[in-house]
Amino acid sequence: MSVLQADSDKLLTAVARLLHEKNIVSPDEITERRAFTDAANPGQGARMVARAWVDAEYRALMLADGAKAAEALDIPMRGMPPLGVLENTPLLHHLVVCTLCSCYPRAVLGYPPFWFKSAAYRAKAVRDPRGLLADWGTRIQAEVQVRVVDSTADYRWMVLPVRPVGTEGWDEARLAKIVRDGDMIGVTVPSA
């Protein structure tokens, strides 16, 4: 362990102890929150997308309040920034970026992938979103508007992609298996 890591661990322990002494948060609450954070993964967001594809009422909830939609699937959102959900359509494609750092909907997608945090991704997403999508192998027709949305420390975003043709009659579990983290950020689109 490096000296820097050891110092960080000591500082984290001291802050946790102080929060407990001031009755702000208990050690059990800290442990619980860390467990939720460590368990978060793109499969949670994929479950949300799959449910929205088969359940119109859930889709409406997801688009109105992403955090409530996550909670409806037992994905804990307490203490998280609000979650907005952007719906892709045949004429509108959303691309999520955090232009300052790596604000990412961790509760529903897990830790941000390395590329999301890179300066190259952030810059190209704003400067040349169609070029960035092409770099990912995602081809968007000329008539489709590409809208870049900035995720921030105050508000996180995820994408509800268009359901792929050929998935009619599929159940939620099967649909969730075709949804990738890139689909929920907008750099890729799911396929059957």
Domains of the chain by start residue, with CATH: 3-37 (no CATH), 41-184 (3.90.330.10)
- Token readout for 4 is 């820097």
The fraction of the chain above a pLDDT of 90, given in percent, is 75
Which amino acid is it at 49?
V
Q: Taking residues 9-15, what's their average pLDDT? A: 82
Q: What is the DSSP letter of 153?
A: S
In the prediction, which pLDDT does 40 show? 87
AA identity, residue 3: V
pLDDT in tens, 134-188: 999 999 999 999 999 999 999 999 999 999 999 999 999 999 999 999 999 999 9
Q: What is the pLDDT of residue 141?
A: 95
d(CA 108, CA 157): 10
What gap in Å lies between CA 146 and CA 114, rounded to an integer? 23
Catalytic residues: 98, 101-103
Q: What angle do CA 111, 70, 58 make, to 5 degrees?
A: 140
Q: Are 135 and 67 in contact (CB under 8 A)?
A: no
Binned at pLDDT 50, 70 and 90, residue 3 comes out as low
- Token look-up 């691309």 returns 95
The verdict on pTM exceeding 0.85 is yes
pLDDT (0 to 100) of residue 1: 59
Instruction: State the CB neighbour count (10 A cutoff) for residue 105.
Output: 28
Name which of 134, 143, 145 is nearest 189 in CA terms: 134
Place of tokens 């939620």: 172
Percent with pLDDT over 70 in the chain: 97
Q: Determine the Cα–Cα distance for residues 133 and 143; give it in Å rounded to an integer.
A: 15
pLDDT in tens, 78-116: 889 999 999 999 999 999 999 988 899 999 999 999 999
The pLDDT, as a whole number, for residue 166 is: 97
Residue 38 above 90 pLDDT? no
pLDDT by residue (tens digit) across 57-83?
999 999 999 999 999 999 999 889 999
